[in-house]
């Protein structure tokens, strides 16, 4: 898709010029890993006002080449991605499923929020992705976990988890450099069908009274509100929950106004969509 055509399409959601300018000038963020204890970092960084374990890097270095990274003291992660786990907010008593866990950024953050207690199941479909998940588990000292290899469209679990995260595969318009040139609306429509099946399967795995967070790093309504609304329309027990985080965002479209659309200009980071759904008794 040509840049002008893409900008015309994006303008239905947000200010394209502000969005694209922020997209190409994103700040670098990382998260402290408190599973390795509390240590003083020598990196030049500024604490985020939205979360005390998130920091903006203030020097021109590659985080993945620092000793802090190799020792598992920090993990590079965009600010909206960090906020996804905070929306689900799992605790030490929860039994949690991350239905598409690799490479493990949100998975390891949830382990930290759970204080390495409870049960955290990390699932993914491809063995090569599982290898990346294991690397994150080992480096970041995640101990309360089980790893499974299942198709997230057909997990086969019924009411086993108190909380579920589905950070679904998507067209990555909010994070992938050059994604707009590779993308077209038909791509979103095709992947939307997969996402809908994944959300139904993940919702089935959730216990009554539990909560599921659905997130993507893209903008298309087909991959966001349409997926969530499809579940709400077909499952009477599903209801949208408020997202009680004080963060800059725009509401979701239509009946999904309780969802969060975070664009690059909001946090000078990647774009994200976040929805929180509760399973009624």
Catalytic site positions: 217
How many residues are listed for the chain in this entry?
Answer: 281
Phi, psi angle pair for 197, to nearest 5°: -65, -40
Cβ–Cβ contacts within 10 Å for residue 20, how many?
17
Helix (H) or strand (E) holding 242: none
Q: Which residues contact 89 (CB under 8 A, 6 or more apart)?
A: 113
Q: Give helix then strand counts, H and E, for the chain.
A: 10, 13
Q: Which two tokens stand for residue 262?
A: 């975070």
Give the helix, strand, coil percentages of the chain, each rounded to 5: 40, 25, 40
- Can you tell me the distance from the alpha carbon of 155 to that of 223, in angstroms, rounded to the nearest whole number? 20
Measure the CA–CA gap between 133 and 142, rounded to whole angstroms.
11
Q: 123 forms bridges with which residues in the sheet?
A: 148
- What are the DSSP calls for 201-229, one per residue? HHHHTEEEEEEEEEEES---GGGTHHHHH
Q: What's the burial of 246, exposed, middle or buried (CB within 10 Å: 0-12/13-18/19+)?
A: exposed
Sole residue written with tokens 């600010």: 79
Query: Which residues, listed in sequence order, are joined to residue 89 by a DSSP beta bridge?
Result: none
């Amino acid at each position: 898709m040509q840049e002008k055509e893409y900008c015309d399409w994006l303008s239905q959601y947000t200010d394209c010029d502000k969005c694209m300018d922020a997209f190409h000038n994103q700040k670098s963020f990382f998260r402290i890993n408190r599973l390795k204890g509390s240590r003083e970092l020598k990196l030049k960084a500024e604490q985020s006002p939205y979360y005390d374990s998130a920091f903006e890097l203030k020097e021109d270095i590659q985080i993945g080449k620092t000793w802090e990274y190799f020792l598992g003291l920090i993990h590079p992660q965009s600010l909206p991605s960090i906020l996804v786990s905070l929306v689900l907010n799992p605790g030490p008593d929860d039994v949690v499923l991350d239905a598409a866990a690799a490479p493990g950024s949100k998975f390891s953050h949830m382990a930290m929020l759970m204080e390495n207690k409870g049960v955290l199941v990390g699932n993914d479909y491809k063995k090569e992705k599982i290898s990346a998940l294991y690397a994150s588990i080992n480096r970041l000292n995640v101990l309360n976990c089980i790893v499974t290899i299942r198709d997230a469209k057909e997990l086969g679990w019924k009411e086993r988890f108190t909380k579920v995260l589905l950070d679904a595969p998507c067209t990555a318009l909010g994070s992938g450099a050059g994604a707009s040139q590779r993308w077209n609306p038909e791509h979103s429509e095709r992947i939307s069908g997969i996402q809908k099946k994944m959300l139904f399967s993940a919702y089935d795995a959730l216990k009554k009274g539990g909560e599921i967070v659905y997130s993507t790093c893209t903008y298309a309504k087909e991959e966001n509100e349409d997926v969530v609304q499809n579940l709400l329309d077909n499952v009477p027990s599903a209801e949208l929950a408020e997202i009680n985080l004080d963060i800059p965002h725009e509401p979701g479209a239509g009946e999904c106004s309780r969802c969060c659309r975070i664009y690059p200009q909001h946090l000078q980071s990647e774009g994200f969509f976040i929805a929180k759904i509760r399973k009624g008794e």
